[in-house]
Chain A
Amino acid sequence: MDNSIYTSLTRQSGLNREMTVIANNIANAATTGYRAEGVTFTEFVHAEPGTRSLSMAKANVQTTSMVQGAMTKTGGTFDFAVEGDGFFMVETPNGERLTRAGNFTPNAQGDLVNMDGHLVMDAGGAPIFIPPDAGTIDVGTDGTISADGQLVGQIGVFEPVDRNALNRESGVLFESPEGAEIVENPRVVQGFLENSNVNPIDQITRMIQVQRAYEMGQSFGETEDNRIREALRAIKGQ
């Protein structure tokens, strides 16, 4: 059995998956509130009774970077960023989702929504109504919204019960299967958006590493091929 080739192949396919993840990070380097993702390789050991174990690499642990992204000043009345821990909550057709992308706007009915039209939730889990005839809208650092000095609501900031269990969804959304808890003293900044936290240098370095490791695996396959070829030739030559 050419186990060495199979072992190397598992790594190749893992590297392939990691390349996909890097490409996605780089593609989302300008996506508001995007959290960089990473892949961890684990050893996968398989032993049939009476055989020696065979260790293979498997890319099966996903990590999400929770590092604070840089803030961009937009000056937009309904552009918000969370400083520190916590997520905004939006109501999607599939249920409540967490997001760090705070580019919101009131919709035609006056309710605050995100760019995909999902309702933004307040601290109590209800939509936030912005009076259309309000002159100035101010948002305090704790998320309280006032229109012309009158309190109209508070943007909710939530923290997932289990950060590791987050599922990613299209539209910079996270699903927290375990639910989310309200953050007691959140810091919300008005007029700013949080950039993607993708570190381009990290990604490019990792990309080169992955590429080279992949090529190395390929040349390993070739060496193995040569070895088997030579062995066959030697046997034939006898």
Chain B
Amino acid sequence: MQALKIAATGMSAQQLRVDTISNNLANMSTTGYNARRAEFADLHYQQVSRAGAVSSSDGSLLPTGVQVGLGVRASAISLHLEQGALKETGGDLDVAIEGKGYFEVEMPNGEPAYTRDGGFKRSADGLIVTNDGFAVAPQITIPDDARSISINASGEVYAYFDDAVEAELLGQFTLVGFSNAKGLEAIGGNLFRETEASGNPFVAEPGEDGLGTLSQGYLEGSSVDSVREITELIEAQRGYEMNAKVITAVDQMLSATTAVR
């Protein structure tokens, strides 16, 4: 019986949903994390008889067909690109993006990666780096003797020195945008990589091209909504149980069939 296999596709779909929810809940306090949502679509249909097929010699047509669906598949696990709440940290190098842009960082192999995690640090040689020590592009170096750092909404980084009245401009953060940010590939460590689906990155100064502005002293919290996740979790669990019930029912039907002498 096909119903058995169909229910199995249903169970694995709900399983995938639970996996996605668990990952969201696990990342509830990950800086700049975007919640993911598992999306489903129905599988192929088996055409028993097609609507509009000729049903008799006088040319009458079947008004509706008979199609048997073969289950469900995951169509996407899409990024939920909602702005996370900003948390005040007071950190000099904590920068949150208010908008849809990404920071570009340079990975050790020289490839660019993109992140919304603006919890930056200063490396031993003064570079602004991510928590993993990857340099932010374009590179900005903070001199050793800088007393304090100020970053404005358009990403300009100023340093104040003990012996100077005027602040010195060290560099400017840029933001990167994508046609389809949902198409980015997550590579862990709050980093994303561009793919063929995301489109080419385009660079702009903060405040331009709709990529958002920067806020110093803030970090973007995770956009996971715990209430929604828990409701979804319950739904997924019940959905799983319903599919399991189908399996039990089909099993009983099969056992009735095999019991026939």
Contact = CB atoms under 8 A, between A and B. Distances in A.
A208 B246 CA distance: 9
Contacts of A218: 256-257, 259-260
B168 interface: no
A61 B64 contact: yes
Interface residues of A, number: 68
B198 interface: yes
B180 A106 contact: yes
B51 A132 contact: no
A184 interface: no
A107 B10 contact: no
A218 B260 CA distance: 7
B239 A29 contact: yes
Q: A interface, by DSSP: helix, strand, loop or mixed? A: mixed
A161 interface: no
Contact of A24 (B42, B100, B183, B198): B42
Question: Contact size class for B?
Answer: 35 or more
Interface string A199-235: 0100110011011001100110110010000000000
A81 to B, nearest CB: 14
A233 B180 CA distance: 77
A75 B63 contact: no
A66 interface: no
Contacts of B259: 218
A105 B51 contact: no
A24 B253 contact: no
Nearest to A200: B242
B130 to A, nearest CB: 25
A31 B63 CA distance: 26
Given A109-B179, A132-B179, A164-B63, A23 B242 contact: no
A27 B253 contact: no
B234 interface: no
7 contacts: A27-B9, A27-B243, A29-B239, A60-B66, A167-B45, A168-B69, A218-B259
Interface of B: 1-4, 6-7, 9-10, 13-14, 17, 37, 39-45, 48-52, 63-72, 75-76, 78, 80-82, 99-100, 177-180, 182-183, 196-200, 202, 204, 209-212, 235-236, 238-239, 242-243, 245-246, 249-250, 252-253, 256-257, 259-261
Nearest first, the 7 A-B pairs at minimum CB distance are A27-B10, A135-B210, A108-B199, A24-B69, A133-B209, A23-B3, A23-B6
